[in-house]
Amino acid sequence: DVKVTQSSRYLVKRTGEKVFLECVQDMDHENMFWYRQDPGLGLRLIYFSYDVKMKEKGDIPEGYSVSREKKERFSLILESASTNQTSMYLCASSSTVWGQGFHEQYFGPGTRLTVT
Amino acid sequence: AQSVTQLDSHVSVSEGTPVLLRCNYSSSYSPSLFWYVQHPNKGLQLLLKYTSAATLVKGINGFEAEFKKSETSFHLTKPSAHMSDAAEYFCVGLNGGYNKLIFGAGTRLAVHP
């Protein structure tokens, strides 16, 4: 089974703190994604990466950065957390190889971040 | 660019009755479409996917969806709801390279005894 794990299920941070959210996948997937999920808005893509050290902005990258130093790990960074970044953050990964679940994204359990 | 619209934010059914969750899409080309389910405090799980093969797609847990090009719809159905089906369901399209997904706003399904 594909496994995507996220470092924390719940996190509480103060405004202005630097926040790191970690994601690890064990299926050697090329693509990795960070989303935030808010009620009534579905999931919105923050950043994605299609290879080590490669990254692309998604739909809402402002206030976030990412790092992918190893294929299995994709980190989301909030340089200076703000209250409007309180949300559920979901990580996902997918393969680019036909026959290995091409197009299918596998999601982690999510990190519920509260910024006070 | 592709977009998806889920027509109901909440659906409530009785256990044992049919489920219908509605989704419309817009796309200038043959779309790839998915349904994902999210149970409380869990990550998203793929229910089924349409990738221009058969128009009637069967998924896990008895769910299926029919792709109707004339109606630009991809509604999710199940003949008989179970209490464990209570969850949030997302209709999702595929946009561009690198497997970028476009999510609908979600439909929360409640199942009553």
pLDDT class of A48 with cuts at 50, 70, 90: very high
* Closest Cα in chain B, distance from residue A103 (Å): 5
Q: How many CA atoms lie within 13 A of A60 on its CB side?
A: 14
Containing B64, the helix (H) or strand (E) segment is strand B64-68
Looking at residue A103, its pLDDT comes to 67
pLDDT class of A100 with cuts at 50, 70, 90: low
Chain B CB contacts of A108 under 8 Å are 43
Q: Is the separation of the CB atoms in A23 and A34 below 8 Å?
A: yes
Amino acid identity for residue A24 in this structure: V
Residue with the two structure tokens 């209250």: A83
Beta-carbon contacts of residue B97 (< 8 Å; ≥ 6 apart): none
How many CB pairs below 8 Å do chains A and B form together?
A: 57
- Which DSSP string corresponds to chain A? ---EEES-SEEEE-TT--EEEEEEESS--SEEEEEEEETTTEEEEEEEESSTT--EE-S--TT-EEEEEETTEEEEEESS--GGG-EEEEEEEE--STTS-TT--EE---EEEEE-
Looking at residue A1, its pLDDT comes to 66
pLDDT class of B75 with cuts at 50, 70, 90: very high
Cα A92 to Cα A110: distance, rounded to the nearest angstrom? 10
Q: Find the mean pLDDT for residues B55-75.
A: 93
CA A115 centroid distance within chain: 17
Q: Among A23, A98, A105, which would you mutate to test the B interface (most chain B Cβ atoms within 10 Å of its Cβ)?
A: A105
By C-alpha distance, the chain B residue nearest A109 is B43
For residue B76, pLDDT beyond 80? yes
Flag whether residue B7 sits within 8 Å of chain A, measured between CB atoms.
no
Q: Do A105 and B9 touch (CB under 8 A)?
A: no
Two tokens at B48?
């089924």
Chain A CB contacts of B45 under 8 Å are 107
Two tokens at B77?
């159905």
Window 75-94 of B: residues touching A by CB (8 A cutoff) are 90, 94
By C-alpha distance, the chain B residue nearest A89 is B43
Strands B107-112 and B10-14: parallel
Two tokens at B70?
């004339």
Highest average pLDDT, of A42-46, B24-28, B100-104, comes from A42-46
- Return the SS3 of B61: helix
For residue A46, pLDDT beyond 90? yes
Shortest CA distance to A84 belongs to which of A116, A106, A107?
A116
